[in-house]
Structure 1
Amino acid sequence: MGFQFNIDLYDDKVRKKYLEAERNRNLIYQKYPEIKEVDEYLQRLKKEYRLLQIQHLLKKNLDPSKSLSSLKEEIKALEEKYQELLKKYNVPADFKEPKWDCPHCMDTGRVLKKGVTMPCRCSFKHRRQVLLSRSGLPKRLERANFQDLNLNLYSTEPMQDNPERSIRENAKLVFDAAKNFAYNFEEGKNMRGLLIEGNTGSGKSYLLGCIANYLIDRDIEIRYIVYSDLIQTIKTSFHPESQVTADKILRQLQEVPVLLIDDLGTEYITEFTSSTLYQIIDKRYREERPFIVTSNFSPNELSKRMGLMGERIFDRIVETCDYYQLIGDVRGQIALSKQGADQ
């Protein structure tokens, strides 16, 4: 998905800024009538001066009683009086001007570069905030990024299941797989997802945050869900006063370009929850939309925990995802590094 510029949003924002400036001007005029009187007379003189300039250029309808120099002097004197009044009443010189959020584009969302109109950087920032607010990403992961991944937090001890590879070397493989997905994802491109197994504290949720933020920076919409929270949300949707339906929730998760499912299998899975998960994964499988899953459980354990639909869900995950195992508990190392930084 390329960058989508919402011209109506920015035009409405500019209009509101001008209306706000007009209200502010009227408040100052009402509070300080002297300022209003001098300012309005000054604007009339400036208009008269511009008209007289044009008449002199065209040499038409010249009024011998008026000269450019005398009018210019009168304007100068009045401007000095105007500035004195602003200073006297502590009124900012730009009180009549809109207060732009972005001075580069004056809130239009567009700038002119070498004769070409381009989106301003503020519009990219706004778009990112919109995608982030829709993503479901928790606050603790909103700043997660690949640059902060630290392999040194992982042990150099050999893996138990694969002694030829260290825990740190294995972590690098997992990080590289996550980066490869985030760097190379394209909508409409049939791309394999990831199934990342890891114990609590291994860093798998943070890795999901890194993937999410990188894709959002690329203007790609994502959804992050903790599976237990999703089921609770769907159950709540059946309440008569709910503002959203279960079908709408499912449709969003089925159709979003990238879906991130965190901590799958941590809760007991009923027939209802198993069926819900299958609807999401099967639709994404058929329409070639990738998903990334993290879990505390091995693929075999996951299959057993997923109830009646477990085998079918497991088959879909295996068919569409590459499996990785992230080993280690880095929470203690992170806490120690933070203590060292604070000392």
Structure 2
Amino acid sequence: MGLLVDGEWYDKWYDTDKTGGKFEREAARFRNWVTADGAPGASGEGNFKAESGRYHLYVSMACPWAHRTLIFRKLKGLEPHISVSVVHPDMVENGWEFRPDEDAHRDHLHDFRFLHQLYTKAAPTYSGRVTVPALWDKQRQTIVSNESADIIRMFNAAFDHLDGVRSEVDFYPQALQAEIDEVNERVYHTVNNGVYKAGFATAQDKYEAAYTELFRSLDWLEERLSSRRYLVGGELTEADWRLFTTLIRFDAVYFSHFKCNRQRIADYPSLSGYVRDLYQESGVAGTVDIGQIKRHYYVSQRTINPTQVVPVGPALDFEAPHGRERLS
């Protein structure tokens, strides 16, 4: 765990003293967009045209933010067009790292040892956290974006003209965008980032505030999903996948490690069925690695778990019937 300051790496945990014990997530620094024709996107500069083989995605199997991009890469049929490298689940004094002797955790593009080397290749005097996902442009030799919310929208639409891409699959349909954005806003602040606000808090009141908001939203989601199969409309949208990557980690990590222990997702009938429903979508199971997820959190976050002992349980069965086909 650490950060870059003017291009130099420092092993440093989050500083919550200046916020009174509250965890505040740093905003992504690279916010360019890949577009079909290379025109500028919603932020940043242009000239990032969607082309087969041009982009390389850096992810962790453990990270919920990176997990979103892996799901979109799979479900949109982008695997032949966008290559990928997966960091090792351990993120300790050198941050996210690669293992050159392990093909599964090697940097297949640059043979870097540490992810922070990628960031300083893109910006030699970069200051900030070094995060996944990071989308690299092989042509311009820079990071296009390290914001998962933007990357999944690029993957959703920018590459639709390429051979084999599932252009008929649209996780952000125009008619539902306002409602998707509204759901995303609440889920991001209170659930996706809410578990981190609880887990990384260093003051009792900040922890309890995050804990309260988290379970208020989980109760709301349970009620919402009791009468509908998906969060928005009658189809899978990005709102579902953004929520899914937090829920799939909840019982294995957030419940105990982050002290989000009022109840498990397994104790919510609708939410637990919903997680199984999404997990059983074709191709999604291959993006989930509970072993790497547990190892990352319990080994890497030594401030929270100084022994680095990884729990054996819990027993999780995402293959069990979900029964949600009956819902409209």
TM-score (norm 2): 0.28
TM-score (norm 1): 0.27
Structure with a larger share of its residues in helix: 1
